[in-house]
Amino acid sequence: MNYLAHLFLAKETAQSYHGNLLGDFQRGIDTTTLSPSMKSALDNHVLVDKFTDFHPLVKQSKSLFSDKRRRFSGIALDVLYDHLLIKHWTQFSPTSFQEFKVHSYQLLNQQLPMMHLPMQHVIKNLITNDWFEQYCTLIGTQQALSNIVKRVRFKNEFSGIEVEVADNLEQLEASFLCFFPELIEHIAQYGPENEHRP
């Protein structure tokens, strides 16, 4: 999952938002030094990614991509799912997307001084350049994917994956609308941040 979806599935606190995004930046971090709330948030991130990666609908969606780009399909879906979450926002939240976005940026800003430098750099960039607003449109989402591809350091054939996203959008969107409610339910039932989980 990408940043927006991870925040959507987090508790609405600054520490939870920090911990739920830390999963993408934890290399070199001694997780034993994290506070209990931060550790629970990090564990929530891991659970979200694990459920997503092993879900049959997600695996089926990855199979729609060409062989030469399938290795990158997980990242493509992560970014696309943020776009689709925004597109269908009212199905999943009573709070408007704009209100959620502004509040999310405020909470992340509070945590910036506590973030290690690699994470701080990315989150500052996310807020300053308003990535979540870019994900509102398919064109913006495709541009985000194109930018990610340009940053890949090893030789690859991922360029053009944004075209495959558009070509398969109808099937990818239908799968997302079946998958995402199941993810929400799974986190509601088993999420490490839940006070009354079984």
What average pLDDT does the chain have? 92
78 band by pLDDT with thresholds 50, 70 and 90: very high
Asked if 135 and 148 count as a contact pair (C-beta separation under 8 A), the reply is no
Residue 24: what are its φ and ψ, rounded to 5°? -90, 0
So what's the pLDDT on residue 159?
Answer: 72
Record the tokens describing residue 77, joined without a space: 């879906």
Distance CA(51)–CA(45), nearest Å, equals 10
Q: How far apart are CA 185 and CA 41, in angstroms?
A: 17
Give yes or no for residue 154 having a pLDDT over 70.
Answer: no
Question: What is the reported pLDDT for 197?
Answer: 46
Residue with tokens 């986190």: 187
Distance separating alpha carbons of residues 53 and 45, to the nearest angstrom? 12
Q: How many other β-carbons are positioned within 10 Å of the β-carbon of residue 180?
A: 22
* pLDDT at 13 exceeding the cut of 50: yes
Percent of the chain with pLDDT over 90: 79
The whole-angstrom separation of Cα 86 and Cα 28 is 32
pLDDT tens-digit profile of 50-68?
A: 999 999 999 999 999 999 8
pLDDT in tens, 169-179: 999 999 999 99
